Amino acid sequence: MAYTKITSRCASILLLCLALGIPALAQKKIPVIRSTTRHSTIYDGMIKMPWDLDPKVKTDVYYVNVPRRPGKVTLATDQGQVSFKTKFGNDYDLIVLINDKDSCHVRISAKDDPATRALSPGGSFPDTISFTLKGSRIYLPGILNGKDTVSIQFDTGANAACVSKASSERLKLVFGGKTILSNSQGVNEVRKSVNNKLTVGRLHFNSMSFVETGNMQPGEDLIIGYNLLRHKIIEIDYDKHLFIVHDKLPVNAKSFVKQPLVNRLSLKTNIVQNGKKYIFWVGMDTGRDGTMLIGQEFTEQPGVWENLKELTMINGRKIIRLDATIAGVTFKDIVTNAADPTKPAARRTGTYFGNVILNHFNWIIDNVNGCIYLKPNSRINEPYSNYSSYESEMKKLNQ
């Protein structure tokens, strides 16, 4: 019989597995990688996010972006990486050894995040809610805490539910703490109100938290994002001004163009600029009352910034002209601005379509299965910020 020498490091890992409640016989299946720092990165589809390693946390859990769709998630340190092919309902464990001393147990969970599950709306489905357009933004009517009528902007770019500083006093919200908010005003400490109730149509949300912000438009009381409906299917019909929440994929989805949901809400886009062709997943931001924004996540790719031909420069950003094709529809001569990837920024800027482009389509967002469906609507020929309008504006300025 052959005997295997157990080194002190192996023994430490074995003791760690026992302490964490991981069966000793299964410890060989748990990958172990090293790191010289507490900083690591998680790659989940198109998502790239920093992940701090904390030895004090018994099990640090990362919830997969679209858990019900099979995918691949990678955790990378400065010394190596581990990848898992994920399947809904499963957990995937790994151990990171920092300087061969501190052990961090990380779990990749292909399950619904309990925090978002707690906000699942009550009510009957499908629920059809009429919305209004102001500029190009979507506004839903609602009732806050059972008594106050509120105007709610549906903003797919919002990571948190927000209340306007101008509305807080009228709504008599109770603020019991503070948090950090990153938005167009920068990174600031703001007030937070918890345990609120919000009704939208027949949808009822309990235990709602709102952070207070001062950058909202006049007449806006609240902002909610699509994360509030992560476990439902959202249909937005710009032709009929209807916002419909489903629990099953509607039959009319068959007539739409289907794409996977990548990086939460992004569209596979073919971009042509200065004779160069790019394929990029561009975010969908209904809170942006504009055409497009080119951020550092696009311009920092090798050779991109150098090859972007500018019409002019404003505050270190290139004003550029490009063609963008989404779901077979080409928007020609879009004029937008691009961020210089070499310039330091407090916030890394993303690449987004604003609602001036997005409202040319009717959508079905299938959060459950990680798909999005698009179909050109009656607004498809409406104007947007293109080269002709840019020339007209420049002519006025020159005069």
Does 295 lie in the same domain as 222?
A: no
Among 215, 243, 271, the domain boundary falls at: 243
The whole-number pLDDT of residue 203 equals 92
Does 379 lie in the same domain as 282?
A: yes
The whole-number pLDDT of residue 225 equals 86
Does 107 lie in the same domain as 124?
A: no
Evaluated on CA atoms 318, 321, 322, 326, the torsion sign reads positive
Domain assignment of residue 82, yes or no: yes
Question: Burial level of 152, CB count in 10 A (0-12/13-18/19+)?
Answer: buried
Among 194, 211, 243, the domain boundary falls at: 243
The band of 263, judged by pLDDT with boundaries at 50, 70 and 90, is low
d(CA 298, CA 318): 13
Does 391 lie in the same domain as 259?
A: yes
The band of 264, judged by pLDDT with boundaries at 50, 70 and 90, is low
Query: Domains in the chain: how many in total?
Result: 3
The band of 45, judged by pLDDT with boundaries at 50, 70 and 90, is confident
pLDDT in tens, 357-370: 999 999 999 988 88
Distances (CA, A) of 290 to 39, 219, 335: 36, 19, 11
Does 280 lie in the same domain as 391?
A: yes
The whole-number pLDDT of residue 350 equals 82
The band of 229, judged by pLDDT with boundaries at 50, 70 and 90, is confident
Per-residue pLDDT for 50 more than 70? Answer: yes
Distances (CA, A) of 14 to 5, 17, 19: 13, 5, 9
Token pair for residue 280?
A: 């990029």
Per-residue pLDDT for 316 more than 50? Answer: yes
Does 315 lie in the same domain as 361?
A: yes
Evaluated on CA atoms 128, 158, 280, 332, the torsion sign reads positive
The whole-number pLDDT of residue 26 equals 40
Domain assignment of residue 92, yes or no: yes
Quote the DSSP letter at residue 94.
E
| pTM score of the predicted model | 0.78
- Name the residue type at position 370: G
Question: Burial level of 266, CB count in 10 A (0-12/13-18/19+)?
Answer: buried
Per-residue pLDDT for 25 more than 70? Answer: no
Per-residue pLDDT for 109 more than 70? Answer: yes
Does 393 lie in the same domain as 287?
A: yes
- Tell which wins on pLDDT, 248 or 343: 248
Does 128 lie in the same domain as 77?
A: no
The whole-number pLDDT of residue 250 equals 95
Domain assignment of residue 143, yes or no: yes
The band of 123, judged by pLDDT with boundaries at 50, 70 and 90, is confident
The band of 17, judged by pLDDT with boundaries at 50, 70 and 90, is very low
The band of 172, judged by pLDDT with boundaries at 50, 70 and 90, is very high
Distances (CA, A) of 211 to 185, 194, 195, 222: 14, 9, 12, 10
Give residues with Cβ within 8 angstroms of 34, minimum separation 6: 77, 79, 80, 96, 97, 98, 100
d(CA 277, CA 85): 31
- Tell which wins on pLDDT, 320 or 157: 320
Q: What is the CATH number of the domain that holds 193?
A: 2.40.70.10
Domain assignment of residue 146, yes or no: yes
Does 169 lie in the same domain as 89?
A: no
Task: Choose the weakest-confidence range: 11-25, 79-93, 333-347, 358-372.
Answer: 11-25
Mean pLDDT score of the chain, rounded to an integer? 85
pLDDT in tens, 62-91: 988 888 888 899 999 999 999 999 999 999
Residues 321 and 365: beta-carbon distance below 8 Å: no
> Could you tell me how many helices (H) and strands (E) the chain has, helices first?
7, 29
Among 179, 214, 243, the domain boundary falls at: 243
Does 256 lie in the same domain as 202?
A: no
Give residues with Cβ within 8 angstroms of 301, minimum separation 6: none
Domain assignment of residue 167, yes or no: yes
Domain assignment of residue 352, yes or no: yes
d(CA 53, CA 102): 10
The strands making up 39-44's β-sheet, listed across from edge to edge, are 47-52, 39-44, 71-76, 81-86
Domain assignment of residue 2, yes or no: no
Between strands 60-63 and 102-109, the pairing is parallel
pLDDT in tens, 83-107: 999 999 999 999 999 998 899 999 9
Residue 290, domain extent? 251-398
CA-based Rg of the chain, rounded to a whole angstrom? 24
Q: What is the CATH number of the domain that holds 363?
A: 2.40.70
CB atoms within 10 A of CB 296: 20
The band of 28, judged by pLDDT with boundaries at 50, 70 and 90, is low
Does 345 lie in the same domain as 226?
A: no
Domain assignment of residue 3, yes or no: no
Distances (CA, A) of 152 to 33, 63, 230: 46, 28, 18
User: Quick one: which H or E segment has residue 352?
Assistant: strand 352-354
Does 203 lie in the same domain as 64?
A: no
In terms of residues, how long is the chain?
A: 399
d(CA 14, CA 103): 12
